[in-house]
Amino acid sequence: MVLISIDDYLTKLYIMNFIRIIRELLNPFHNLILITFTIFIIGFINIYTKTQKDKTKPIQKTYITQADSNIIYAGRFDTIPNPKGTGTTSQYLWNGVPRNRHWLTYNEWKGNHCYNREMRKAFKIWKQNEIDSFIEFMCMAAVKESQVYSDIPPELIVAQSILESNFGKSRLCVEGNNLFGHKYWGSDKAMYMVAADDSPTDKFTKYRSIWFSIRNHSKLLMGKYRDRISGKPNLNKWLYALCGGMTVEQSKKFRSKGNSVYATSCMTDVCYSQKLKILINNFSLKERCKKYGVI
C-alpha cells in the first residue's frame, strides 16, 4: 500500500479538476469544428454534383466575342463626342450605356469605357439583350421583305444588317436609318451623312425610316447582283454574287477583271461573303427567320 501526503493528493485533485474544466471548455469548440467540417463537406458535394450536371447541359453560345471579330460597319472609326457635364461618369449610365445618345463607338461596343467590374458585367448583359432584340426584329422584317422579293433569302438580309450596322448600334444606322452601309453619290447635304470608311469623308445615304433602308437594299440586290446568279437563287449563290467568290483570292481575281464587289472587305482578311456565312450559322438566322413565316 502506497501512502501519499495530503498535499500530493490535493495537487492531483486540482490537476484532475483543471483537466475536466479544460475538456468542458473545449467540447463546444470541438462541436463547432465538427459542424463547420460537415457544412464544408455538404457544400463540396453540392458543387461537385452541380458541376457534373452542367457538363451534361448544352453549352450556351456567347455571340459577343464572335460579333466583335467581324465588325466592319461604316463609322467604326467614330470617336466619343464631347460629353455634356463634368466628370468621367457623366457620359454613361450605371450599366455603361451612353447617357445622351443611342449609338456606340467601336471601343464602347467592346466595353473599353467601363471603369469597374460591376459596370462591365451590366454592360455585357445589356449588350447581349440588344443583340437578341435586333436579330429578332430584323428576322421579322426580313421575312416580310422576302415575301415581296422571294429570290432574296431573309437570313442574308439579317446577316448583312448585322455586319453593316453593328446590330443597329452604329451612328449611321441610328442617325441615318442606314442599315446596310449604302453610300450616297449626290450633292444634297440633307440626303447624306459623313462617316469614315474607305476614306475619312465617305458620304452615306440618310433614309426616312428603317423600312426605306431595307427596301432600297432589296432593290440594290435584285438590280445589280441578281443578274450574276444563274438558275434558282440560293444563299451560296447570293454570297458568291456579292463578292465574286467565297474566298479573298476569288474576290481579288473577280475584281481584277473590272468587276465590282459589294464591299472592299471582300478582299481583306476573311472574305465578306464568309463573314456573312459565319453570322448566319452562329446566330442560326435561317431557323430564327422561320418563326416569322414560311421561307
Identify the pLDDT of residue 61: 40
Strands (E) in the chain, as ranges, are 192-195, 202-205
- Domain of 18, in residue numbers: 1-36
Indicate the range of 59-63, 96-100, 264-268 predicted with least confidence: 59-63
Of 25-29, 49-53, 104-108, 194-198, highest mean pLDDT: 104-108
What is the pLDDT of the chain when averaged over all its residues?
A: 83
Question: Does residue 17 sit in the same domain as residue 129?
Answer: no
What single-letter DSSP state applies at residue 201? T
Question: Does residue 73 sit in the same domain as residue 31?
Answer: no
Question: Does residue 11 sit in the same domain as residue 116?
Answer: no
Q: Residue 127 belongs to a domain with what CATH number?
A: 1.10.530.10
- Please state whether beta strands 202-205 and 192-195 pair in parallel, antiparallel, or not at all (unpaired): antiparallel
CA separation for the pair 154, 140 (Å, rounded): 9
| C-alpha pair distances (Å), 262 with each of 204, 217, 241, 244, 286 | 15, 12, 9, 9, 22
Note whether residue 51 is domain-resident.
no
CA separation for the pair 240, 83 (Å, rounded): 44
Which 3 state secondary structure label does DSSP give 242? helix
pTM of the shown model: 0.75
Candidates 91, 217, 111, 211; CA nearest to 160 is 217
Question: Does residue 180 sit in the same domain as residue 254?
Answer: yes
Identify the pLDDT of residue 59: 38
Is the pLDDT at 187 greater than 50? The verdict is yes
Note whether residue 238 is domain-resident.
yes
pLDDT tens for 113-160 read 999 999 999 999 999 999 999 999 999 999 999 999 999 999 999 999
CA separation for the pair 188, 58 (Å, rounded): 53
